[in-house]
Structure 1
Amino acid sequence: MSSGPSAPGSSGSGSAAFERLVVERARAAERLTALRLEFARLLEYSADVGADDEHDIEGASMPFEREQLRATLRQAAGKAEEIDAAFARLAAGTYGTCTLCGQPMGAGRLEARPAARTCARCA
């Protein structure tokens, strides 16, 4: 039974790359869910203590925490988008090929960063 075609630039099979991406996407989804829940709780807490951040016991830390969490959420969403783009490259047959120089990335790079778009040289 064949394990699928090899991804360009990798010594692994296409199905192995797919499995790595599935695992990475599941982790990213879990992280996004946890961060969204944390953000909702933070907003709920903010509403409970009032909108006056200046006179809040927490002081300026509440707005800072909200912005920090927003930034972390954006970063996690970006990672999920990178993984989705890697799935698209896998489906198109270009997974494992550097999007800048067009050279194979190599199995080590793809094992370390399954959603990588570029080879180590171009990164």
Structure 2
Amino acid sequence: MPTTPTRARLEAERDEVLARTDRLRADLDAFRAASERDNADDEHDPEGATIAFERSQVATLLREGERRLADLDAALEREGRGTYGVCERCGRPIPPARLEVRPSARTCVGCA
């Protein structure tokens, strides 16, 4: 299958998001490993709240990245079927400006 500019853009963005989620996953694993090695009581450790907060932030960013990957995978699937850029609700074309800002958009602005 020849690569279209749209597909190449979606794949490039997916690669970036995948690399970011891999880094976040490694960071989260490091936090968990550090927590297992150190029996510090977060409640009474002056650094504990910071560590717990950072771990929570990384976990949230990882979940967002995983959702973004799923959205990009779905967009790549639509591109392969020839339905990319078509609103899933009303069936009208999604404006190019919306796809430029949000390449994984499933709906036009009016239906969003």
Question: What is the match of residue 76 of structure 1?
Answer: 65
**How many residue pairs are counted as aligned between the two chains?**
111
31, 34, 37: which one aligns with 2:20: 31
Q: Does 1:53 align with 2:33?
A: no
2:86/2:107 contact within 8 Å kept: yes
2:40/2:48 contact within 8 Å kept: no
Relative contact order higher in (CA < 8 Å, ≥ 6 apart): 1
TM-score normalised to structure 1 length: 0.80
Question: What is the match of residue 95 of structure 1?
Answer: 84
Moved over 4 A (4+): none
Q: Tell me the C-alpha RMSD between the 2 structures.
A: 1.7
Shift of 1:48: 2.8
Of residues 58-67 and 91-100 in structure 1, the stretch that sits farther from structure 2 once superposed is 58-67
TM-score normalised to structure 2 length: 0.87
2:41/2:48 contact within 8 Å kept: no
Letter in 2 for 1:122: C
Letter in 1 for 2:43: E
Of residues 48-57 and 25-34 in structure 1, the stretch that sits farther from structure 2 once superposed is 48-57
Letter in 2 for 1:76: G
1:49/1:56 contact within 8 Å kept: no
Of residues 40-49 and 95-104 in structure 1, the stretch that sits farther from structure 2 once superposed is 40-49
